[in-house]
């Protein structure tokens, strides 16, 4: 049996009790029902890009979703696209951009599968997948029945959804409404990064990929900075009064709730004295050489090395600024 380190981008994680690799929607349903029927622990695995798995796993049955299929139906404003959960996210972005569709081009280069995209409402440069998902098909762990869940019932928030909040089961396919558009409707964050000139979705995709490459945010076997889960901590959302007490140079952004503001986790880490390329002596984990928000595997890290560094960062940021950083990846088996 292969260890989970073979299937996760952080490249840590021990050997599971079993590993199934369903290729079709029906196989995925059958595989889940079989494992759930045993009452043993289970994990739905996509591309393993948002998981840190323990070195010694308790009895854990892994279902690695490899279902494929993209069905595109044109509508007057663009297209409704239904994508099976195991499709690669970035290949789907490339596919939709090539079809002249806009809505997810700023999410180019994010690793993982389409089925995992709603789980933490993936986002980058001000675009979020919640803005374009219409509904998903879901196999519910509690009822063992399939159901359609509409966008409004997914409780999407910043890196958050009903699936992260504890609704257990498997996302079978995701449906998107994308717009046929010659130019990308740029968010303020995208304008900040790319400028405000008119650009086609394809141009935006190329430029986003290039920016992400520079930051080690596109998977690359030979670049240890990408042996990570991307950003390890979410940007903390704190009371506005607390944000006002932060040094002026700390970037902050308004959120929907006017009493709160979002702070830059990268700034907090950097200003707590933990910069790029930082490692605890003897550890195989370190912050990326390109930015301090990614915890990376420098080659021989254990899951314990990764968590030790995460805790070290949390304690230092909390001591310096009184802010609690919350890990973005799912911690499995600890």
Ligand X SMILES: Cc1cc2nc3c(=O)[nH]c(=O)nc-3n(C[C@H](O)[C@H](O)[C@H](O)COP(=O)(O)OP(=O)(O)OC[C@H]3O[C@@H](n4cnc5c(N)ncnc54)[C@H](O)[C@@H]3O)c2cc1C
Which residues are near ligand X by CB under 6 A?
A: 9, 43-51, 65, 85, 110-113, 115-117, 119-120, 122-124, 163, 170-171, 217, 219, 226, 228-230, 330
Closest CB to ligand X among residues 86, 246? 86
Give the helix, strand, coil percentages of the chain, each rounded to 5: 25, 25, 45
Closest CB to ligand X among residues 116, 313? 116
Cβ partners under 8 Å of residue 304, min gap 6: 55
- HSE at residue 148, side-chain half, CA atoms within 13 A, is 6
- Pick from 267, 283, 285, 284: nearest CA to 275: 267
Of the residues 96, 231, 283, 288, only one is catalytic, namely 231
| Least distance between ligand X and beta carbon 242 (Å) | 25
Look up 105 and say whether it is catalytic.
no
Closest CB to ligand X among residues 277, 316? 277
Of the residues 11, 135, 159, 205, only one is catalytic, namely 159
| Least distance between ligand X and beta carbon 77 (Å) | 26
The vertex-274 CA angle with 269 and 276, nearest 5°, equals 100
Closest CB to ligand X among residues 113, 264? 113
What is the distance between the alpha carbons of residues 169 and 207, in angstroms, rounded to a whole number? 36
| Least distance between ligand X and beta carbon 321 (Å) | 24
Residues forming beta bridges with residue 261, ordered by sequence position: 238, 254
Q: Is 39 exposed, middle or buried (0-12, 13-18, 19+ CB in 10 A)?
A: exposed
| Least distance between ligand X and beta carbon 322 (Å) | 26
Closest CB to ligand X among residues 43, 272? 43
Tokens 């359609």 appear where? 148
Look up 199 and say whether it is catalytic.
no
Of the residues 34, 203, 304, 328, only one is catalytic, namely 328
Closest CB to ligand X among residues 110, 178? 110
Element (H, E) at 60: strand 60-64
* Tokens read off for 63: 């279902």
| Least distance between ligand X and beta carbon 186 (Å) | 17
What is the distance between the alpha carbons of residues 21 and 38, in angstroms, rounded to a whole number? 18
Q: Where are the alpha helices (DSSP H) in the chain?
A: 25-38, 89-98, 188-194, 201-214, 240-244, 265-271, 303-321
| Least distance between ligand X and beta carbon 119 (Å) | 4
Look up 27 and say whether it is catalytic.
no
CB distance 332 to 53 below 8 Å: yes
Please list the active-site residues.
Answer: 159, 231, 328
């Amino acid at each position: 049996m292969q260890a989970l380190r073979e299937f996760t981008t952080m490249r840590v994680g021990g050997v599971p009790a079993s590993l199934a690799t369903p290729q079709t929607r029906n196989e995925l349903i059958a595989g889940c029902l079989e494992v759930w029927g045993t009452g043993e622990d289970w994990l739905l695995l996509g591309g393993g890009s948002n998981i840190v798995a323990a070195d010694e796993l308790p009895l854990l049955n892994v279902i690695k979703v490899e279902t494929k299929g993209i069905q595109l139906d044109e509508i007057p404003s663009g297209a409704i696209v239904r994508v099976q959960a195991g499709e690669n996210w970035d290949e789907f972005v490339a596919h939709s951009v090539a079809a002249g569709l806009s809505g997810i081009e700023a999410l180019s280069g994010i690793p993982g599968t389409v089925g995992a995209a709603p789980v933490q409402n993936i986002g980058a440069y001000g675009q979020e997948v919640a803005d374009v998902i219409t509904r998903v098909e879901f196999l519910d762990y509690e009822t063992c029945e399939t159901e359609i869940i509409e966008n409004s019932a997914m409780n999407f928030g910043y890196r958050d959804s009903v699936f992260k909040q504890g609704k257990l089961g498997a996302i079978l396919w995701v449906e998107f409404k994308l717009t046929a558009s010659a130019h990308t409707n740029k968010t303020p964050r995208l304008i900040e990064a790319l400028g405000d000139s008119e650009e086609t979705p394809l141009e935006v995709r190329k430029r986003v990929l290039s920016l992400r490459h520079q930051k080690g945010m596109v998977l690359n076997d030979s670049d240890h900075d990408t042996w990570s889960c991307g950003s390890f901590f979410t940007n903390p959302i704190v009371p506005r009064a607390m944000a006002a007490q932060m040094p002026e140079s700390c970037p902050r952004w308004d959120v929907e709730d006017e009493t709160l503001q979002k702070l830059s986790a990268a700034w907090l880490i950097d200003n707590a004295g933990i910069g790029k390329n930082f490692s605890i002596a003897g550890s195989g984990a370190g912050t990326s050489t390109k930015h301090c928000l990614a915890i990376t595997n420098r080659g021989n890290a254990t899951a314990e090395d990764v968590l030790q560094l995460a805790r070290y960062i949390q304690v230092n940021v909390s001591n310096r600024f009184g802010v609690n950083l919350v890990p973005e990846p799912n911690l499995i088996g600890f």
